[in-house]
């Protein structure tokens, strides 16, 4: 194979080669800087370990370090003054250089070392390409080299990101495992405190409820005391201990004899309907309280009317007295039970 030298090219071919070289180098620089730029987030965890003051002190050294590797790449561009197309690429490379210099990647970090090695290889490859003027490498081959380098740098960045994520997750897991007993103890303390609050609230609610009941009972007792004289006279057949109690048997009204003498049961009066606001209820209360000829009732009548037969309820004065007795039993029944003047 015949080796073609630079002298064998015409001036137009040389300018064309220079343009191609400049474009390829620009592409290489863009791809490398983009790959490095995308790797910055990967090192965020490591960088945050340094204080802002330390980072500011190290910044000049880092910039100088990266500039030293970019300088050979810039110098490898063709330096022809009459080719404006090539010279127009220099500002773009300068801008990339400025952006690249702002990256705060520690030189001694794994990513920093890898990028330094790749940049050195790329600079050497670019210089070789410029020296050969395309005789040993073609633009396509140079572009492929740049792409492979950029892909390798990007892949290393992804790998570092994965390692960083795993490291952070492991640290979090270790911290959680270390503090698990403390967290558990804190949860138990919180639960104990909540239980105490619940118990105290329950006791407070119960005390409030008891207080309400006591107050209501006191109010009932006071109301009964105001009507006590009338209660003793009108309800004498009910509050006096005796041996007869009302008993419900279907629709009929029966009496029940007991061995022990005690007041009439309020619950039995209610179950037999004697306290219902009906004619039947009024008749049953009248029959039980006023009957003296049947079932052997031994309780005194007081002012309660005596029962003779069913029509007596309609006699003048009798109905009103039975209605009044029924009212007093409904109004003061619970207070009479609480004071043991009536049986439950």
**pLDDT per position as a tens digit, 123-155:** 566 556 555 554 444 545 545 555 665 566 566
Smallest CA-to-CA distance from 117 within 165, 73, 69 is with 69
Round to whole Å and give the CA distance between 204 and 211: 10
Indicate whether 145 and 23 sit together in one domain: yes
* 3-class secondary-structure state, position 261: strand
Q: Are residue 155 and residue 250 in the same domain, yes or no?
A: no
91 in Cβ contact with 104 (< 8 Å): no
In a domain, 318, yes or no: yes
d(CA 224, CA 336): 8
- Judgement on whether residues 140 and 48 belong to the same structural domain of the protein: yes
Q: What pLDDT, on a 0 to 100 scale, did the predictor assign at position 344?
A: 94
Residues 154 and 65 placed together within one structural domain of the fold: yes
Q: Specify the DSSP class assigned to residue 8.
A: G
Question: Is residue 129 helix, strand or coil?
Answer: helix
- Give the integer Cα–Cα distance in Å for 125 and 142: 8
Look at residue 251 and tell me if it is in a domain.
Answer: yes
Contact 33, 102 (CB under 8 A): no
Q: Are residues 310 and 163 in the same domain?
A: no
Q: Which has the higher per-residue pLDDT, 203 or 223? A: 223
Taking 50 as the threshold, does the pLDDT of residue 216 lie above it? yes
pLDDT reading at 177 higher than 70:
yes
214 lies in some domain: no
Instruction: Tell me: pLDDT of 107 over 70.
Output: no
Lowest mean pLDDT of 92-101, 163-172, 204-213, 244-253, name the range: 92-101
Answer with the one of 130, 155, 172 that is the final residue of a domain: 172
Domain range for 313 is 231-338
Q: Is residue 177 part of a domain?
A: no
Answer yes or no: is 216 within a domain.
no
Tell me: do 259 and 145 sit in the same domain.
Answer: no
Q: Pick from 121, 137, 172: which residue ends a domain?
A: 172
Number of folded domains that form the chain: 2
Model confidence, pTM: 0.45
pLDDT of 157 higher than 70: no
The DSSP code sequence of 190-258 is HHHHHHHHHHHHHHHHHHHHHHHHHHHHHHHHHHHHHTHHHHHHHTHHHHS-EEEEEEEETTEEEEEEE
Are 252 and 133 members of one domain? no
Domain-located, residue 211? no
Give the distance from CA 150 to its chain's centroid.
45
- Are both 35 and 146 inside the same structural domain? yes
For 260-283, what is each residue's pLDDT tens digit? 999 999 999 999 899 999 999 999
26 and 160 in one domain?
yes
Residue at which a domain ends, from 172, 206, 221: 172
pLDDT over 70 at 217, yes or no: yes
Are 162 and 17 part of one and the same domain? yes
Are both 134 and 259 inside the same structural domain? no
Let me know if residue 148 belongs to a domain.
yes
Same domain, 240 and 161: no
Q: Do the domain assignments include residue 297?
A: yes
């Amino acid at each position: 194979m015949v080796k073609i030298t630079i002298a064998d090219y015409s001036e137009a071919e040389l300018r064309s080669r220079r343009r191609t070289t400049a474009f390829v180098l620009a592409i290489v620089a863009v791809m490398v800087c983009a790959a490095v730029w995308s790797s910055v987030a990967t090192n965020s965890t490591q960088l945050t370990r340094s204080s802002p003051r330390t980072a500011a002190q190290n910044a000049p050294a880092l910039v100088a370090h990266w500039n030293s590797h970019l300088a050979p790449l810039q110098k490898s561009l063709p330096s022809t003054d009459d080719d404006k197309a090539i010279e127009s690429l220099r500002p773009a490379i300068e801008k990339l250089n400025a952006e690249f210099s702002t990256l705060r990647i520690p030189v001694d970090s794994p990513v920093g070392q890898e990028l330094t090695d790749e940049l050195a290889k790329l600079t050497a490859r670019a210089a070789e390409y410029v020296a050969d003027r395309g005789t040993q490498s073609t633009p396509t081959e140079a572009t492929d080299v740049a792409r492979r380098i950029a892909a390798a740098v990007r892949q290393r960045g992804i790998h570092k990101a994965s390692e960083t994520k795993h490291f952070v997750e492991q640290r979090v897991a270790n911290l959680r495992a270390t503090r698990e007993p403390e967290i558990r103890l804190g949860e138990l303390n919180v639960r104990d405190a909540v239980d105490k609050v619940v118990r105290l609230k329950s006791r407070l609610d119960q005390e409030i409820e008891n207080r309400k009941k006591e107050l209501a009972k006191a109010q009932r007792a006071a109301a009964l005391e105001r009507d006590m004289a009338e209660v003793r006279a009108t309800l004498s057949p009910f509050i006096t201990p005796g041996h007869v109690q009302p008993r419900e048997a279907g629709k009929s009204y029966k009496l029940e004899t007991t061995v022990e003498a005690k007041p009439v049961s309020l619950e039995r009066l209610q179950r037999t309907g004697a306290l219902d606001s009906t004619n039947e209820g009024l008749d049953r209360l009248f029959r039980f309280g006023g009957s003296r000829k049947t079932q052997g009732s031994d309780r005194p009548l007081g002012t309660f009317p005596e029962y003779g037969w069913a029509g007596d309820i309609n006699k003048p004065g009798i109905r009103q007295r039975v209605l009044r007795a029924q009212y007093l039993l409904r109004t003061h029944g619970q207070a009479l039970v609480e004071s043991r003047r009536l049986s439950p």
